[in-house]
Amino acid sequence: MPRQSSDSTLLFIMRHGEAEPARRDDRQRQLTDNGRLQSLATSEWLEKYSQHQTIDMALVSPYRRTKQTFEMMQQHHRFLNNQICNDIVPDGDIHLTHDYIDALLQQSRSRLKPLRSILLVSHMPFVSYLLDEICQIQRMPLFATASVAVVNYSGIGHRGELLEHYQGR
């Protein structure tokens, strides 16, 4: 596990696993069998960043495929808290989400155990734009299904550093 400074949090920005083809109601699309396998592989890979397979917080889009991806992540990780976030949908507001992450971190600093790790499970293009916003880069990386970017994030500096981008299997 990489060394973190006392004011940093590991932020895992993840795209959901492979989903069934588009249909009338995009919110109800489910993971394919391959999408479940992809999500499990990502969950296993992410173990090297989680202390004792524990992640402090998960923020999950309300869409079915992201909830299912989160269920797969729970196969290898224990989450101390999780929230369904209506703002982290494909066309969500990245600035609002960035501010919300900062507010969560600021609130957690007043507790005995601040947030040291957060998993965010969302969609393209949201995850790509959010990574650019948080790391203050303008390269808009593509996220394959079930891929995850690992960011060492400082709420005090309101920015992060990309440590690794796992593109899945």
pLDDT, tens only, 80-127: 999 999 999 999 999 999 999 999 998 888 877 789 999 999 999 999
What pLDDT does residue 12 have? 98
pLDDT value of residue 1: 47
160 φ, ψ (degrees, to nearest 5)? -135, 170
Q: Which residues of 115-148 are buried (b: 16+ CB within 10 A; e: fewer)?
A: bbbbbbbbbebbbbbbbbbbbeeeeeeebebbbb
Alpha helices (H) in the chain, listed in sequence order: 33-45, 64-73, 94-109, 126-135
Beta bridge partners of 28: none
Low-confidence ranges of the chain (pLDDT < 70): 1-6, 169
The per-residue pLDDT for 5 is 53
Which superfamily does 8-16+31-166 belong to?
Phosphoglycerate mutase-like (3.40.50.1240)
Helix axes 94-109, 126-135, angle to 10 degrees: 60
pTM value is 0.94
